[in-house]
Amino acid sequence: MSPYILAILLFSLGLGTTITFSSTHWLLAWVGLEINTLAMLPLMAQNHHPRAVEAATKYFLIQASGAAVLLFAGVINAWLTGQWDIHQAAHPLPIAIITLALSLKLGLAPLHSWLPEVFQGLNLTTNLILATWQKLAPLALMLQIQPPHSSLLIFLGLMSTLGGGWGGLNQTQLRKILAYSSTAQLGWMILVVQFSPSLTTLAILVYVVTTSATFLTLKLNKATNINMLAISWAKAPALMALTPLVLLSLAGLPPMTGFMPKWLILQELSKQGLPATATITALTALLSLYYYLRLTYAMTLTMFPNNITSTPPWRLPSAQLTLPLAILALAAISLLPLTPAAMALVAL
Amino acid sequence: MVKFLFPTLMLHIHADLTNYRLMTLITQSSGHRLMIAMINVHLTLKMAQWLDEQHLNPYMAQTPYLPHFVLLTCWLLPLMIISSQHHMATEPINRQRTYIMLLTSLQFFLILAFSATELIMFYLMFEATLLPTLMIITRWGNQAERLNAGMYFLFYTLASSLPLLVALLLLQNTTGTLSLLTLQYSNPLNLSTYADKLWWAGCLIAFLVKMPLYGAHLWLPKAHVEAPVAGSMILAAVLLKLGGYGMMRMILLVLEPLSKELSYPFIVFALWGVVMTGLICLRQTDLKSLIAYSSVSHMGLVVGGILVQTPWGFAGALILMIAHGLTSSALFCLANTNYERIHSRNILLARGLQMVLPLMTTWWFIASLANLALPPLPNLMGELMILTSLINWSPWTLALTGAGVLITASYSLYMFLMTQRGPLPTHLIALDPSHSREHLLMALHLLPLLLLIFKPHLIWGWVS
Amino acid sequence: MTPILFAFSSAFTLGLTGLVFHRVHLLSALLCLEGMMLSLYIALSTWSLGMGSASSSALPLFLLAISACEAGAGLAILVATARTHGTDRLQSLNLLQW
C-alpha cells in the first residue's frame, strides 16, 4: 500500500475516533463511528487474501449494523424527548438499545462471536489497531451515556468475562485467543462503567498497554498459533523470558500491572454492595488465566524441540523496531506500585 | 526492614553481574543470603525482649509471632541455593542466573508478605509468591507432569484466594481500614447473617487451601513431587507457613466471634486429615510424595491448633510450623541427595544406604526423629501443646490425634528403615560419596532445630 | 406513538430483521442496510420538519452522504468477495473458523 494512502487511512482512523470523542450530538457520534469503520476496511483488506476480505466483510456488516442501530436509538430518543444530546439520553428504551449496539461494536459477550473470526483473518498489526484503537470510540460513548442501575450492564459484563474465558479454552490460534481475551477484559470494564467511569478509563488504559505489548511480541516472532510460539525461544530468548510476565499481567496476576484495574474494579463492586458479582467475576478470570498460562507453558516453561538450523536466529539483529515493545512490556509488568497514583487519578 | 530488603534486592544485581563459574555464583549468593539471615537472627534476638507483650513491637510493627517467619525465610533461601548446586551444574550460566534471581524475588516477596502491616499488601505479596514458585516448579522440574502440577498449584491457590480479596475489600468497606495497626482497635464486627458466614469462609479458605487442609490438599503432593529440590524446600518450609500465618492474623484480628461455631467442620477435617494422610504415607513408595503427605498431616495439626483459638493452640501451632519448616526442608534435601545418586524417587530402589553413605544416615536419623517428634525436640513441644489445647476443646479429639501421632511415628521409622537399614542392593555399589556441601546443608538445617531445644522461649510467642 | 414514528421504526426493524435472519446473499444484506439507512433518513427529515428548526435541516443530508459512502464501501467489499470467493453467498464466508 502506498504510504500516502496509508497515511490518509490512519489519519481518518484518528479523525473518526476523535469526532466521536468530542461529539455531543448523536448524529456526529455516528458519523465518527462510520468514518472509523470506513477507514479501517481498506486496512483490513489491503492484501487480497480471501481470509482478509472475509474478515473485512464480517467487520463491515457488524460495524455498519451496529452503527445503524445506534443512530436509530438516537433518533428514537430525539423523537421521544426532543433533543439529541448524548449526555441527556434519559429514556430507558433508547439507552438499552444503545448499550446493546455499542456492545455489538465492542464485541461484548452475547454479541461477541464475530470478534475471533475477524481477528483470525487479519495480520497482527491490523489486529493491534482493532484490539486497541477501535475499542476507544464505542467505549467513550458507553462512558457518556452512563445508564444508572443497569442490570443489563452487569449481565453483559459477567457474560463477557465468562464467555471470553470459556471461548479461549479450546483455541490454539493466538489471534482467536487474544480476541477472546479482549472480550473478557472489556467485560471487566463494562461491569464498573455505571459506578465509576474513570475506573473504566484506567482499565482500558492498562488493557491497551498490555495488549499492545502482547501483540508486538507476537509480531516480532511472527507467531499466529501456539506451535509457532513454542519455537520462538530460539528467536528472542530474553523476550521470551519476559513475555510470560506480560501475559500473566493480562490475566491480572498480582505483582504485575494488570492486577491494578481488577483490584480497583473489585473494590468498587464490593463498595456498591455487589460482592457476589465481584466474586463471580474474579473467579471467571481464572478461565482466561488458564489459556494465558498455556501460552506461557508453550513459550517459556518448556523447551520445545527445535532443529539445529533454526536455533541461531537470535544472534542476528532484528529488522523490526523493538523500542515500543520494550517500553510497553516494561509498563505492562511493573506499574503496580503506581496504584496509589492511579487511585488518586480515579478519585478525581 | 530495609536492612534485609535492600540486600535482597542487591542479590538480583549480584546474580546478574557475577561472571564466574557456577560454584562462585552459588557460594557468593548463598553467603550473601546467610549474612542477611544473620542480621535477621540478630534482630530477632533483640526483639525477644518484646516477646512477652501482645502488642505490636517497634521493629517492623510486628506481633510476637512474626519475626520467626521472616527469619525462617531468610535462613532457608541460602540453603535452597546450596542444595540446587548439583541440579544447576549442567545448565548454561544465564539460566543459573535466572534461577537465582527467581529465588531472590521469592525471598523478597516472602519477607514483604510476612512483614506487611496492611492486609491488602499481605494479599498482594501472598499472590506474588505464586509466580516465582510456579516458574521454579514448571521450568526446572524434571518430568512432564510438572506442567500439570503447576496448573494445580496455581489454580487451587487462586480459586481460593480470589474470594479472600473480595472479603478483604468488604472488610475495608465496613471498618474503613485494612491496616493491622488500626484494625485491632476498630469496633468488633456484628456478624450474624448468612452472608457474614460466607464472608468468614472467604477470609479463611484461601489460607486453609494454602496450608493445605485435608480435602483441598491435592495440589501439594503433585507440586512437591514435580518441583526441583529448591521448590520442594520452599513449598514445605515457608509457603505452607504463609497459610498458617495468614490464618493467625485473620482469626485474631477480625474473625473472632464467628469462629467458635464455624470452625467446627474445619477442625474435624484437619484432624481426619492427620490420620488419613498418615495412612497414605504408610503405603507410599515415592520418597518425595511421602514427605509431602507428611507435611499435610503436620499442617493438619497446625490448622487444628489455630482454629481452637487458645493461647496454647497458637503457640503450639507456631512452634510446630517453625520446627516443621526446618525438618521437612531437611527431609527434602535428604531425598534429593538420594535422587542425585540413584535418579529415582522410589524407596524400593534406594535401600540399605547406611552401607555406602554412613554419615548421611546420621542426618537421616536425626531428621526422621524430628519428623516423628522425639521428646526434647521442638517438634514434640509444638505437638504436645496443640494436643493439649485440642483435648481441652473436646476430649474426643484424642482418638484422632493419638492415632495420628502413632502413625506419624510409624511412617517416619518406615522411611528411615527402608532407606537406610538392611542389605545393600547390588545395583547401588558405585555411588558418589556424600559431599561436604551436603553435610553443610544438613547441619545448617538441623543445628537450629537442636539449638532451639535449649531456648524454646524464642519461638513460642504467646506462652511466657 | 405517532404514525411517522411507527412507520420508520417498523421500516428500520424490518431492515434489521432481514439483515439478521435472511442471510443468503451479501447483496441482500447490503440492501437491508440501505433500507435501514433510508428509514433513518425519513426519521431525521420528518423530525427536523416537525421541529421546524433550520439548523437541523442539514442533518438528513449528512446522513445521506455518510450512508452513501458506507454503501460504496459495502459494494467494494461485495466486489472483493466476489473476486476472492467466487460468489456472494454468505455461506461461503467460512474460512475463518479455523
CATH of the domain at C37: 1.10.287.3510
Q: What is the identity of the amino acid at B398?
A: L
Q: Is B118 helix (H, G, I), strand (E, B) or coil?
A: strand
In a domain, residue C20? The reply is no
Other CB atoms within 10 Å distance of the CB of residue B463: 14
Residues 6 or more apart in contact with residue B155 via CB below 8 angstroms:
A286, A289, A290, B219
Residue C51 placed within a domain? yes
Residue C7 domain-assigned? no
Q: Using the beta-carbon criterion (under 8 Å), do A282 and B162 form an inter-chain contact?
A: yes
Place of cell 542392593: B425
Contacts from B397-406 at CB under 8 Å and sequence distance 24+? B397/B267, B397/B271, B397/B304, B400/B271, B400/B272, B400/B274, B400/B275, B401/B271, B401/B274, B401/B301, B401/B304, B403/B275, B403/B278, B404/B271, B404/B274, B404/B275, B404/B278, B404/B297, B404/B300, B404/B301, B405/B373
Mean pLDDT of successive 10-residue segments in chain B (464 residues)? 73 71 66 70 60 47 64 85 83 82 88 85 92 91 88 93 92 84 74 83 90 90 91 91 88 74 88 93 91 93 90 88 93 91 86 87 93 90 92 91 93 92 83 87 91 82 57
Looking at the complex, does the CB of residue C95 fall below 8 Å from at least one CB of chain A? yes
- Inspect the interface and report whether the beta carbons of C95 and A56 lie closer than 8 Å: no
How many CA within 13 A on the CB side of residue B358? 1
Whole-number pLDDT of residue B59:
45
Is 0.90 exceeded by the ipTM? yes
Do residue C96 and residue A55 have CB atoms under 8 angstroms apart?
Answer: yes
Q: Is residue C14 part of a domain?
A: no
Q: Which chains touch A (3 or more CB pairs under 8 A)?
A: B, C
Query: In the prediction, which pLDDT does B58 show?
Result: 44
Cell numbers standing for residue A54: 472475509
Kindly report the average pLDDT of chain C as a whole number.
89
For the entire predicted model, the pTM comes to 0.91
Q: In this structure, is residue C8 part of a structural domain?
A: no
pLDDT of residue A273 exceeding 60: yes
Count of alpha carbons within 13 angstroms of residue B285, beta-carbon side: 4
pLDDT, residue B436, reads: 87
Task: Record the cell numbers describing residue A298, joined without a space.
Answer: 508453550
3-state secondary structure of B179: strand
Structure confidence at residue A311 (pLDDT): 66
Q: Does A174 touch chain C (CB under 8 A)?
A: no
Q: A228 versus B378: which is more confidently predicted?
A: B378
What pLDDT score does B330 carry? 94
Question: CA nearest C7 in A: which residue?
Answer: A76
C8 touches chain A (CB under 8 A): yes
Q: Which domain holds residue C61?
A: 26-86
Residue A8 has pLDDT above 80, yes or no: yes
pLDDT score for A211 = 94
Contact residues, chain B, for A255 at CB < 8 Å: 109, 124, 127-128, 131
Better pLDDT: A197 or B92: A197
d(CA A211, CA B160): 27
A79 alpha carbon, distance to own chain's centre: 34
Peptide bond into B212 cis (omega under 30): yes
Hey, where are the domains in chain A? 1-145, 149-305+314-348
Cell of A84: 439529541
Whether the CB-CB separation of A205 and A234 falls below 8 Å is answered with: no
What lies within 8 Å, CB to CB, of B329 at 6+ separation is B76, B79, B233, B236, B237, B445
C-alpha B205: how far from its chain's center? 18
Q: Residue C49: inside a domain, yes or no?
A: yes
Which of A34, A37, A50 is closest, CB to CB, to C85? A50
pLDDT over 80 at A280, yes or no = yes
Residue burial B299-310, b: 16+ Cβ < 10 Å; e: rest: bbbbbbbbbbbb
Tell the residue number behind the cell numbers 506442567, with chain if given: B147
Q: Which of the residues B166, B173, B205 would you substitute to probe the A interface, choosing the one with the greatest number of A C-beta atoms within 10 Å?
A: B166
Task: Return the C-alpha cell found at B402.
Answer: 493419638
Is residue C18 domain-resident?
no
Chain C residues close to A117, C-beta within 8 Å: 96-97
Residue C80 lies inside a defined structural domain of this protein: yes
Q: List the single residue in A241, A279, A297 with the smallest CB-CB distance to B163.
A: A279
pLDDT of residue B60: 45
